[in-house]
A and B are shown apart, each in its own frame.
Chain A
Amino acid sequence: MNADGTLHRVLYIDLTRRRSEVRERPELFRDGLGGTGAAIRLLDEECPAGADPLGPDNPIIMAVGPLVGLFPLASKTVAMFKSPLTGNLGESHAGGRSAVAIRSAGYGALVIRGASATPVYLSVDAHGARFRDASALWGMRSSATVGTVIRSREAGAGVRSIMRIGRAGEQMVRFACVITETYRHFGRLGLGAVFGAKKLKALVVSGRRDIPVPDRKAYRDAYDAVYHAAVDSPLMKKYHDLGTAINVLPLHAAGALPTRNLQSGQFEGAEAISAEALASGYLGRRVACTHCPVACVHLAMLRLPYPHDPYFYKTLMIGYDHEPVYAMGSLLGVGEPAGLLRLLDAAEIHGFDVMSAGVALAWATEALARGLITLADTDGLALAFGDAETYLAALSRIVSQPTDFYRALARGTAHAAAVYGGADFALAFGGNEMPGYHTGPIGHLGYLVGARHSHLDNAGYSVDQKIAAKGEHLTPEQAAETLLEEERWRQVLTSLVICLFARGVYDLATVIRTLAAAGVETTADALAATGAETLRRKFAFKRREGFDAAAMPIPRRIVETPSPAGPFDEEYIRRGIAHYMARL
């Protein structure tokens, strides 16, 4: 059992009654480890069947794990909720200071229930939750300013996390994100809209305390092994040097970089928006999540003149990664770095999941070109690939929603396509917008079968690339087996809230060793069983909420646009889905 009893404490926060209480829940962390495993158990308990994702019954769960605060790279918080984007399982992970702050405040998980009648933000520390009026913060133009205001009002500088929404969350845009520490996000599946529906503008968590370990020497030795693997070995070099955007050029070269709503897998502007170009022209600072020596967060410095005021400039610091560069760059045909960076900054200010926002705009651009929608629908905006200025205006309109069209688009790409047509080129999987890899059939199969419909669920894009390099071919059934094995193991990693970029550092032996140093004795078999059980529970929740794998639409575009894997058909993917679901 865990040496530190505070992990077992779950803080239940009721926004309706404005009360919080702690309950001891050791079994959650014994059976589910923490993170994903603890969160799905809490979601099962808290979320009634058929709950309205934007109603008070939809809970927000945030969970951390036994390695947090003890080992490097155990730096994520797992949020679970019912997604307003897909109407089903919502799971989103973020780093920043969030995980260490939650554990340092003395909790293993937070459960936020109910809804506030008026805007509120929560300040959580070792003494519980305080409810602070946020009426004056509601409607503020920039999510960054909200952070600035709260930073000056709350204690705990350096040992706190300030999670907040922008206006997209307030307006319940179904793909609104929650921003933490300015550059990290609970991005996917609309947690920001759930915050907004609860009138919850922000959640501040702070704490500072020691965490005991059973054996000091064993702890230090295990620590050094992980630390040096992260810092000295090549395992994390690509994240360290150029950051995740290092993927842009190789994906383009392979024909796997989704471009202009995936009308192509190659982008003539790839060079200009590559990690190499951004680093040489714009990289201004690198930052890290708490307890991550790798520092993959790359910030571009963009100096912009004020058009009507000579010698006045502003300098923006804008985070970039592969997925944002894909979603606001190649997918929208924006190959000009300043335009791309301004779009990324706007997504941050409004508080969108940048991936979903990019896919939604790419679909809208093609829908306009094909006459499915008109300029009256777009409020006069002539959306066109490559036109960053017009996309900036469109992002504002997804927040302000001046027409029925923007109201539909704010409910996600799949919903908008259901209303206006164009489902064949609506790049959504299980209702969640596509990630930036068109590597082949296994990548797409992975998005469809993954419990979050995310590329990080099972890394099918990586399987495509590996078998292509070896010149191999997998049957759909073999592909499904490979994805299932990976997704089960990833439940263990995300239950321990280990950053998935560190999956090479945390191999099975390292996981067992670090857990032992934290006071959790386990075995390879027990971990495998826990991973499989957690995944089974996630799909049990999905099925309860109406998930039907066989009925999931597969956008025709993905089989029409050539991928590096060569031609594949919908039949391959359907067989893979069927096998995956049967083997779950």
Chain B
Amino acid sequence: MVKRLSVIDTERCVGCQSCMFACVRRTGHGGLGGACIGVRSAGGIRRGFLVVVCRACADPPCSKVCPVDALPARPGGGVRLKSELCIGCGNCARACPFGAIFWDDAADKPLVCVYCGYCADYCPYQVIALEDVAPEVIP
């Protein structure tokens, strides 16, 4: 079954960013540099938080604007980054209406969710979860 990350309830997000640290730790580092998920305040912490994740679109705009086919659509939704093809033009990041494509400044390449769900394992408040893409969505 194809998986994707789902935001269950942003109102339960406390802004600890444990998910962001988990995303980076999966690759064997600390810090927040390579995080493919973003948590930021919704206009000041008093208003709560926004949780920005790739929602694995069935028809992903980021894929369509890639001039070198480095972001082919994944069957069932979402994309896979072929880093060796990427020229770092940034079209994908501009095309995503959620800002869910983050940027690796050093490599000048996008940071794209791989739908592994490691972040969700470290969310203490069940704000996010890895879920099966509904079968009817799969062509």
* Interface contact B30-A210, CB-CB below 8 Å: yes
Contacts of A213 in B (CB 8 A): 28-30
* Interface contact B31-A223, CB-CB below 8 Å: no
CA distance A103 to B33 in the complex (A): 12
* Interface contact A72-B24, CB-CB below 8 Å: no
* Interface contact A209-B14, CB-CB below 8 Å: no
Provide the B6-43 mask, 1 if CB < 8 A to any CB of A, else 0. 00000000111110010011011111111000111101
CA distance A290 to B24 in the complex (A): 15
* Interface contact A158-B40, CB-CB below 8 Å: yes
* Interface contact A288-B14, CB-CB below 8 Å: yes
Interface set, chain A 30-88, CB cutoff 8 A to B: 69-70, 72
Contact flag A317-B31 (CB < 8 Å), given A158-B38, A223-B25, A288-B14: no
CA distance A72 to B22 in the complex (A): 11
Q: What is the interface residue range for chain B against chain A?
A: 20 to 34
Contact partner, B16, options A69, A148, A291, Cβ 8 Å = A291
Which of B44-52, B75-83, B90-98, B130-138 interfaces with chain A? B44-52
A104 within 8 A of B: yes
B67 within 8 A of A: no
Contact partner, A291, options B21, B27, B40, Cβ 8 Å = B21
CA distance A129 to B43 in the complex (A): 24
* Interface contact B30-A69, CB-CB below 8 Å: yes
Contacts of A291 in B (CB 8 A): 16-18, 21
Interface set, chain A 85-113, CB cutoff 8 A to B: 100, 103-104
Q: What is the interface residue range for chain A against chain B?
A: 35 or more
* Interface contact A208-B18, CB-CB below 8 Å: no
Contact partner, A181, options B30, B45, B48, Cβ 8 Å = B45
A147 within 8 A of B: yes
How distant is B2 from chain A, measured CB to nearest CB, in Å? 26
Provide the A462-481 mask, 1 if CB < 8 A to any CB of B, else 0. 00000000000000000000
Contacts of A290 in B (CB 8 A): 15-17
How distant is A99 from chain B, measured CB to nearest CB, in Å? 12
Most chain A beta-carbon neighbours within 10 Å: one of B14, B28, B30, B38: B30
CA distance A211 to B33 in the complex (A): 8
Provide the A128-162 mask, 1 if CB < 8 A to any CB of B, else 0. 00000000000000001001100100000111000
How distant is A506 from chain B, measured CB to nearest CB, in Å? 17
Which of A292-300, A435-443, A559-567 interfaces with chain B? A292-300
A183 within 8 A of B: yes
Given contacts A181-B45, A210-B24, 14 further A-B contacts (CB under 8 A): A69-B30, A72-B21, A100-B32, A151-B44, A182-B46, A210-B27, A210-B31, A211-B31, A219-B30, A231-B124, A290-B15, A291-B18, A293-B16, A295-B14
Query: Closest 10 CB pairs between A and B?
Result: A158-B40, A216-B28, A210-B33, A288-B16, A70-B30, A211-B30, A211-B31, A295-B14, A317-B46, A210-B29
